[in-house]
Structure 1
Amino acid sequence: MDAKEIRQLFPILNQEVNGNPLVYLDSAATSQKPVQVIEAVSDYYRQINSNVHRGVHTLGTRATDGYEGAREKVRKFIHAKSIEEVIFTRGTTTALNMVASSFGTANLREGDEIIITYMEHHSNIIPWQQVAKSTGATLKYFPLQEDGSLSLEDVRATITPNTKIVATTLVSNVLGVINPIKEIAKIAHENGAVMVVDGAQGAPHLNIDVQDLDCDFLGFSGHKMCGPTGIGVLYGKKHLLENMEPVEFGGEMIDFVGLYESTWKELPWKFEGGTPIIAGAIGLGAAIDFLQEIGLDNILEHEHKLAAHALERMSTIEGMTIYGPKEAEKRAGVVTFNLSDVHPHDVATVLDTEGIAVRAGHHCAQPLMKWLDVSATARASFYLYNSEEDIDKLVEGLVKTKEYFSDVF
């Protein structure tokens, strides 16, 4: 299927905004949902709605089968060894916080090092700041190259025998940079450190094999990969998860509860306290089926073509500054930019009048904004349902925006 055929599977895209056909270029914030995912969630509530695991009645069994079936789909999707290594969470933020608060707090001491990058989303910065404060560990940053990418030479120079945790994003939500996680993990492990990966922007676009990457933890969110909001995944190597304490306590995650002591269920359920996100997990499973039918390699190839087209067309606009690698093949489908002296929010507002949805602001990456020496940027992000025609409409909208503010000032 080409992008126009795929687009027809996304009901929300077949509408007008401000009198113009919707051009949705904000998938890095959240992707749209195909009919297959919408129907899977709807069918759960219409035909199954029941809690999981404990019920022996038919609806309870169906719910459990759907929920645990989705876990197996996730396992295959990221090539984990077993379902014991797949924990459902509310999203990437929850997954990273679980690693920081449970593993980090228990294993870090004064003098230990945590290393992250300037390109991290706030959800992969703040948890480590908090752990550093509570344990006395030191938070360090890998330097970036001029285009925002990481150099393995800098990685080797920054990691030391005192480094205990290296936490980096797989794909930058601002620069689109695809980081060499496998190589970074190897260097981290050679120094006795644990590798934590923010996969929120990677999972929608890349074939992820956690065993090949050899990462110790990986978190990602369903809503960025055609799935529902409020569902995500924490992958962790079994031996690490077994030695971690749960961060939420209550029903579902217990084995035995006494008056003064309790014991936990085995993996992965000891980390899933309370009624889980059943419909969300089933929807995520449907999203995985959909993406695998299209093919992750095909999606990334399509995004590279869109990024190349966008970089070429946008570069012709006078006063345009584009951030990140100049080569489309070095980035996912994200192009972040500023247009002359026009504030990014003004750019996004004018584009919206043309029916074009882009993101404006600091993108939950304020340290990176400081590194770029800007307060904010505009961001266009592409996905499998976008076409070169969408890019052309974006460029037309940017030209109109520039002309409008030239007339105003």
Structure 2
Amino acid sequence: MSAKETQMQLRCVIAGAGLGGLSAAIALRRAGHEVVVLEQAPELGIVGAGIQMAPNASRLLGAWGVVDRFRDAGVPAQAAVRRRWSDGEKLGEVVLGQRLLDSFGASYWCLHRADLHGALVGVATDPDGPGTPVEIRTGAPVARVVANGADEARVVTADGTEFAGDVVIGADGIRSAVRDSLFGPQPPSFSGRVTNRHMIDVATVQDDPLLAEILERPAQNIWIGPGGHVITHPISGGAGLYMGVTTSGVRDDEAFWSTPISQADMLAAREGWDPRILRLIEAAPMITAYGLHDSEPMETWIDGRVALLGDACHAMMPFQAQGAAQAIEDAAVLGETLAGVAPGEVAAALERYEARRKPRASRVQALSRANGKTWHVPDGPEQQARDAALAKGDSDFRAYEFLWSTGPGGAPAPADPVAAA
């Protein structure tokens, strides 16, 4: 460790204790910095459902010790299967499992968002980890941010408390108060799509012969069809199954963030689809509908010593399972860029962070939108061409190589912590 690195400990203030904010806290802690995270909720807790961590993200989480904390609750997917909407016919299959470990050095993990969040909290605050444990303050909603060029950055919370930092990170989601304070209101874009999410206790359906093929191995299954798709994958160490049912064609005036939905409405909406989907809907104890929003690409993510991260600057559709993964990549690059940096060098370092991350995140953001259109085309010539490409299997795998690999334009490689353990 150089003399410069031992002397330069920055005060980092992060708005948002979600997956991106906690990942940034871990990366900055590993870089030797002091970190405080401000969370608007009165206590830590995460809502949500299933989440998938592809190798570009799980490789970083493994290096940070996060995977070790969720390993028992997560499930490494052995395959990704694309199916026809009406009868579940297999359109194509991509082998994952050991193949990903050999090719990319990490697994494709399926788990519940709460288990990932808990693992991140544990690593961030662990007193035995490298550097200084992260401080998390709940009940601290951000009211505004003061960015005075390269000289100053402050966060003011709703009760008037000020938190000065050498660097401020806005990781407070698609409705970011940090972003809006700096750049004015940036309304999210409603996609015209709604996803109904629920979790199923596998013990309640494991003896159903209709579902045997779906439950026989840990795999991601996606039924793609006109105007929508359905995804399932294991969670809770295999004891649970996440199911997401997405419908397109919802009008803007019907947009919402989340609302309960009845089982009867769900079944009616999927009439004519694979009977296995209907059976799984019947097994769902509770279903919540979420309006899918993303954001338009921003001209810049930074202002002096303040930078945005994750959904605050590049919210994206979930059709490549990359929203949280791209935030984790942001965090890794942020930690690497700010390692050994003096306070007066922070603004220039954040410019390097943006230059490295913005092209890749913007590309993934655009591809995630495009995937939704590809999956939801009506039956016909375009659908037939898509299905023929999926039948090749490996072509689907190769399409993700740029995303899962490290190297120029690829995912960041794990960096060793600057701070002494």
Q: Above 0.5 in TM-score?
A: no
Query: TM-score, normalised on structure 1?
Result: 0.23
Structure with the largest fraction of strand = 2
Query: TM-score, normalised on structure 2?
Result: 0.23
Structure with the largest fraction of helix = 1
